[in-house]
Amino acid sequence: VVPQGKARIRVQLSAAHTRAHLDKAIAAFQKVGRELGTLKDLGAANAAPQGPQVVQNTP
C-alpha cells in the first residue's frame, strides 16, 4: 500500500523513443496533472526549452 501523497509514476526511456514520443508523453502527463490538480501551471517562464538540448552524464 502506498501512502496518500507518495505515489509515483515510473517511466522507462530508450534510444528508440523519438522526440515526438517524449513530447506526447509529457503533454499527456501535464494534461492529467492539471486535471487532477496535482500539477501547477507555472506558465511560460518555465516552459520546456526549444530546440536540441545537450545532457552530459557525470560519474
The pLDDT tens digits of the residues spanning 49-58 come to 677 777 676 6
Q: Quick one: three-class SS letters along 15-53?
A: CCCCHHHHHHHHHHHHHHHHHHCCCCCCCHHHCCCCCCC
The answer to pTM > 0.85 is: no
pLDDT higher than 70, residue 43: no
Among 34, 33, 11, which Cα is nearest to 22's?
A: 11
Q: Write the CA distances from 54 to 8, 11, 18, 50, 51, integer angstroms.
A: 26, 20, 15, 12, 10
Q: Does 58 reside within a domain? A: no
Q: Does 21 reside within a domain? A: yes
pLDDT higher than 80, residue 47: no
Among 44, 15, 48, 16, which Cα is nearest to 29's?
A: 48
Domain containing residue 17: 10-39
Q: What is the pLDDT of residue 24?
A: 95
Domain count, the chain: 1
Q: Does 51 reside within a domain? A: no
Average confidence (pLDDT) over 12-17: 94
Q: What is the pLDDT of residue 6?
A: 84
